[in-house]
Amino acid sequence: MWRRFSGDQIEDIKEAVEATIIREKKAGHKLKVCIGSDSQVYGSVTDFATVIVFLREKKGGFMYIHQSKSKQKMSLKERMLIEVSKSIGIAYDLCDLFDKYDVDMEVHADINTNPQFESNVALREAMGYILGMGFVFKAKPDAFASSSCADKMV
């Protein structure tokens, strides 16, 4: 279930996003949307968080959040690619709205571009996956939707 940062649940994310875009544009804001996911392993459970971050040009922003859990055992690379898959899934579901209302959208991956970091093992596949879907790709340190926003939710 999607929710606002306040905890209010969102019944239909696509309807909520469209209503948000209309409201924000009517208020005169230029929007950009960044979608990202992060995960954290706690014992035998992996918590995932996916966020849709709405940025108002020079006026701050806000986000919608989806959280889930998995008991599936997975490697770091697999977990990184599941994060990317979750982000791409919602980006794909919403991209027609972003096109319709001329809203720029980026998909952020919580993967480090520096080979010295473990998450780098998934960089090539994640970048290919995101770019192959036709989305703008951002990785650390520019992937704040995943590495800052979603990170705070897991």
Digitized pLDDT (tens) for each residue of the chain, 154 residues in all: 999 999 999 999 999 999 999 999 999 999 999 999 999 999 999 999 999 999 999 999 999 999 999 999 999 999 999 999 999 999 999 999 999 999 999 999 999 999 898 888 899 999 999 999 999 999 999 999 999 999 999 9
- In order, the DSSP letters of 14-29 are HHHHHHHHHHHHHTT-
Residue from 50, 54, 66, 2 nearest 23 by CA: 54
CA distance 22 to 3: 19
pLDDT at 17: 98
Count of the separate structural domains present in the chain: 1
Q: What is the CATH number of the domain that holds 34?
A: 3.30.420
Q: Do residues 134 and 98 lie in contact, with contact meaning Cβ atoms separated by under 8 Å?
A: no
Provide the residue range defining the domain that includes 140. 2-153
Which residue type sits at 51?
V
Residue from 124, 141, 52 nearest 95 by CA: 52
